[in-house]
Amino acid sequence: MEFGLSQDQQLLDDTIRSFLADRVPISRVRELRDEGCPCDRSIWRALAQLGVTGILVPESQGGSGLGLLDAVIVGEAIGHAATPVAFLSSAVMAPIALSSIDHPKAEAWLARIAMGEIIVGVAFTELFSAREDAGVTVRDGALHGKTMMAIDACDSDAILVAVDPGRLAVVERGARGVETTRLVTTDRTRCTAEVVFEGVGPIAVFEEVGPAIAKALDAGRIALAADAFGACESMIEQAVLYAGERKQFDRLIGSFQSVKHMCAEMIAALEPARSLLWYAAHAFEARPDEVPLLACHLLAHVSEIGREIASVSTQVHGGIGWTDEQNLHFWYKRIAGARHLLGGPEFLRERAASLQSFDRVS
């Protein structure tokens, strides 16, 4: 039995990586970093033509109806290029949540997502990390409260808000009473925001959709791990390339045993995670009962090895690796930002432990 990507998946990988290398080089990422919102709609529309925006949307709503492994391939390519697009929220988490809800309004939103007509941000942070008195409630059909670290919410057309573990609201960002403020974080290639709701209504609220919310979080963690994995891959490639070009004492630094070990250890740390990543994505459809545990272990593990790879890769570059002009920091910060976006390693391990304890008891 062969464990690997199909020919179609390899073609998908090649196509997306080629497109991003051509259309979104690091010089373009640098320009977008300094914008009010780094997500470029022209890039998103071009990705829509490649089927990326509807990759997880069912065919009945105009999407490709592919699996999470296909989305992971795209996510890895996006992380590899440090591309600032709303893939995690609008192409993964929102479609997974909405496609799990049997309601005409959910189907209408899915069709618009698939076309690339709209971008949907997600605000799920308070489900696992509430701070600064953040939290959202529904009173008299209107939304009140504040949510932090809403993903891709600044330039979105709508925001998917987890009111609590069992209710989901869809809010148009331009609605009266919605105030969105971009948060300045380490990673400037990803948009996160504080969103305040002051009596926003009437709104669409989906009741008793806890499984849909949980499923979207699991998919998001797997896709986020893929993004960080791609960023790690890029940093290793850049370190190896630099070691083959930079000379000290009339010798390439890549010929020094210590530098060889540094590069080899980074590769040895990353490669086993590829199997875990692909299996978790495959299990999302094939073995759904395993996914909550796999998603936690995967993102926690990639976050930990990612921090080490980012550091060692920068050390290989020497002093220039820490400068702005070298560009390495775009991936360094992307890995650092992903570490806490959907729950840090400590939280994820605690959740994994509780899931395993529950399995033993049941």
Residue count of the chain: 362
Range of the domain at 323: 211-361
Residues 248 and 338 in one domain: yes
* E strands, 202-349, in order: 204-206, 247-248, 251-252
Residues 238 and 352 in one domain: yes
Percent of the chain with pLDDT over 70: 98
Residue 355 belongs to a domain? yes
Q: What is the CATH number of the domain that holds 174?
A: 2.40.110.10
Residue 103 belongs to a domain? yes
Token reading at 221: 């963690």
- Nearest to residue 69, comparing CAs of 82, 56, 78? 56
- What 3-state class would DSSP assign to 43? helix
Last residue in a domain, options 73, 100, 118: 118
Residue 165 belongs to a domain? yes
Distance between CA atoms of residues 76 and 13, nearest Å: 9
Helices (H) and strands (E) in the chain, counts: 11, 10
> How many CA atoms lie less than 13 Å away from 192 in the CB half-sphere?
18
Q: Is the pLDDT of residue 362 over 50?
A: no
Host H or E run for residue 142: strand 142-151
Tell me, what amino acid is at 322?
A: W
Average pLDDT, the chain: 93
Q: What are the DSSP calls for 45-100, one per residue?
A: HHHHHTT-TTTTS-GGGTS----HHHHHHHHHHHHHHT---SIIIIIIIHHHHHHT
Q: Is the pLDDT of residue 150 over 70?
A: yes
Q: What is the CATH number of the domain that holds 68?
A: 1.10.540.10
Residues 262 and 294 in one domain: yes
Strand partners, 280: none
Residues 74 and 44 in one domain: yes
Confidence of residue 359 (pLDDT cuts 50, 70, 90): low
User: What global pTM score does this model have?
Assistant: 0.95
Q: What is the CATH number of the domain that holds 235?
A: 1.20.140.10
> pLDDT tens digit string along 98-128?
999 999 989 999 999 999 999 999 999 999 9
Residue 1 belongs to a domain? no
- Nearest to residue 224, comparing CAs of 339, 306, 122, 311? 339
**How many domains does one find in the chain?**
3
Residues 104 and 145 in one domain: no
Residues 257 and 189 in one domain: no
Residues 229 and 349 in one domain: yes
Q: Is the pLDDT of residue 254 over 50?
A: yes
Residues 112 and 126 in one domain: no
Asked if 24 and 18 touch (Cβ cutoff 8 Å), the reply is no
- Nearest to residue 75, comparing CAs of 62, 60, 93, 57? 93
Token reading at 95: 């479609």
| Mean pLDDT in residue range 157-182 | 91
